[in-house]
Amino acid sequence: MAIIISILTLLVIYLGMVIFFMNHFYFGSSINGINVSGESVKEVNKQMIYELNTYKLNIKERGGKNEQIKANEIGLKYNSDGEFKELKDRQNSYKWISAFFNIEDSKNKDTKMIIEVKYDKTLLKKRVDKLSCFNISNIIEPKNPSFKYTDNGYVILNEVSGNKVNKGILYDKLSGAILKDKTTIELDSINCYVKPLYTSNSKKIIDTRNRLNKYVFSKITYIFGEHKELLDKSTINKWFKVDKNIKVTFDEKEVKSYIDLLSTKYNTIGKSKKFITSIGEKIDINGGDYGRSINRVKETEALISSIKNGETVAKEPAYIQTALAKGDNDMGNTYVEINLSTQHLWFYKNGALIVQGNIVTGNVSLNDATPDGVYKLKYKEKDAILKGPGYASPVTFWMPFNGGIGIHDASWRNLFGGKIYKSNGSHGCINSPYYLAKAIFNNIEVSTPIVCYS
């Protein structure tokens, strides 16, 4: 009798549950991960609509900042209607016991359902555009590492990560998160931020730092006779630029400016020269084309090359023109001295007087006066014919130093010196007695300075 009562009791319970599950979901039922066990379709409809309408996607940004996208902002809705009842209809109320024993089965199609949602793409794009992380005033651009010069060389300054978001990536990630019913995304973990191209540990950054240090520890000593100019890191470090592609370039304008300063300081062509005459007077002579002149273009190139090679070197610069002597007195002790006022010439070689004598210079009355200045002998020629307007004069020794002006013998003259030059002078040349011209010609070298003064 007890067994019959027990069986009847179980049957009543079973049938009662069958009746219950005719209108309610199995135990263990879930929709989109939401537990709907034992609820009616009507209750589930309300619950799911509530869950949909209250959906928020939390966006975690750098700096502890959070923003949200809400369901109503993007027109979020379920992909189709009536699917809740379809799930209920798949649940045979007479099989509720089997469903009970399979509660943990996540693949049970009778108890587990995923209903897709959809959203308005235009609304989502507009909402993304309004996120504060895209407000230009809030954006910190990512930056590659940079380089700072110190007394010990260049050091690397770390990159700036910034907070600039890649909108295209973010939109795709948001879309996927919404469709999968995620409630939180963290922009760092899903790689939404625009990254610097390089970090402080990148090989290119380290190589560039090493290259800069190679350059900056170059040491160039320029020698100008007894003077020296040291070019070292204190100046060189100002000549580099590292562009956004981490390419090192020289600021050639700065290098040229440095060479220009050397030229201004040490070029001697045309500069006033201090000179002690043969009669002991101390004078300053201006003008002429004798002296040193740095080849600015060539030396700029050479200097950049030396720095790129990390050289430590003592050198003279490249010259367009050099002088016989390297010091301040670049004429040295070999030169021709011409006193235009006394009409006298001296020729010194290695400090020894080779010859001297009277001369006749340019005709002052015809504005052909020989100009002051220090010039260099351009060449020397024997048995030349000097030509000009209305004359052709053969000479044995011809030594030009200033255009068509030069030293030569003048066989047509019997007298030299005195005041002849004022009214019966030359066309500008230095008319010399034969012996004087010959002695100079036989001992002088090209580029020897010719000093003319009044």
The reply to whether the predicted model has a pTM over 0.85 is no
CATH 3.10.20.800 maps onto the chain at: 204-321
- Predicted confidence band of residue 95 (pLDDT cuts 50, 70, 90): low
List the single range of 93-107, 129-143, 220-234, 438-452 with lowest mean pLDDT.
Answer: 93-107
Q: Average of pLDDT values for 14-42? A: 69
- Predicted confidence band at 51 (pLDDT cuts at 50, 70, 90)? confident
429 is catalytic: yes
* Mean pLDDT score, 260-280: 94
Q: How far is CA 246 from CA 124, 255, 320, in A?
A: 38, 21, 36
pLDDT at 346 over 70: yes
Strand-pairing partners, residue 230, are 221
Query: pLDDT by residue (tens digit) across 413-443?
Result: 999 999 999 999 999 999 999 999 999 999 9
pLDDT over 80 (residue 150): yes
Question: Tokens standing for 134?
Answer: 């895209």
Q: Is the pLDDT of residue 109 over 70?
A: no
pLDDT at 7 over 90: no
Task: Calculate mean pLDDT across residues 279-303.
Answer: 96
Average per-residue pLDDT in the chain? Answer: 89
Active-site position among 24, 133, 192, 408? 408
119-147 residues labelled b (16+ CB within 10 A) or e (exposed): beeeebeebbeebebeeeeeeeebbbbbb
The pLDDT confidence band at residue 96, using thresholds 50, 70 and 90, is low
Q: Residue 88: what pLDDT?
A: 61
Integer Cα distance of 135 and 65 in angstroms? 14
Looking at the chain, the domain(s) classified CATH 2.40.440.10 span 335-453
- Given 24, 133, 192, 429, the catalytic residue: 429
Confidence of residue 113 (pLDDT cuts 50, 70, 90): confident
pLDDT at 336: 98
The residue type of 393 is S
Instruction: Determine which of 106-115, 339-348, 439-448 has the lowest per-residue pLDDT on average.
Output: 106-115
Candidates 18, 15, 21; CA nearest to 89 is 21
Range list of H helices, 26-78 = 41-53
pLDDT of residue 438: 98
The domain made up of 204-321 is a member of CATH 2.50.20.10: no
Confidence (pLDDT) at 191: 93
pLDDT computed for residue 227 by the predictor: 92
Please check the confidence at residue 189 and state whether its pLDDT lies above 60.
Answer: yes
Give the per-residue pLDDT at 77: 87
R_g over Cα of the chain? 50
pLDDT band with cut points at 50, 70 and 90 for residue 202:
very high
Residue 417: both structure tokens together: 């010196």
pLDDT tens digits, 352-378: 999 999 999 999 999 999 999 999 999
CATH topology of domain 335-453: L,D-transpeptidase catalytic domain-like (2.40.440)
Q: Is the pLDDT reported for residue 254 higher than 90? A: yes
The string over 428-450, giving b where at least 16 C-beta atoms fall within 10 Å of a residue's C-beta and e elsewhere, is bbbbbbeebbbbbbeebeeebbb
Residue type for position 329: N
227 is catalytic: no
What interhelical angle do 121-129 and 167-179 show, nearest 10?
A: 130
Predicted confidence at residue 199, as pLDDT, reads 96
**Any idea which of 25-29, 148-152, 417-421 has the lowest mean pLDDT?**
25-29
Q: Could you tell me the pLDDT band of residue 326, with boundaries at 50, 70 and 90?
A: confident
Q: How confident is the model at residue 93 (pLDDT cuts 50, 70, 90)?
A: low
List the one residue out of 414, 220, 177 whose CA is nearest residue 313.
220
Task: Return all residues near 133 (Cβ < 8 A) that are at least 6 apart.
Answer: 59, 61, 65, 67, 139, 163, 165, 187
Residue 48 pLDDT level (bands cut at 50, 70, 90): confident
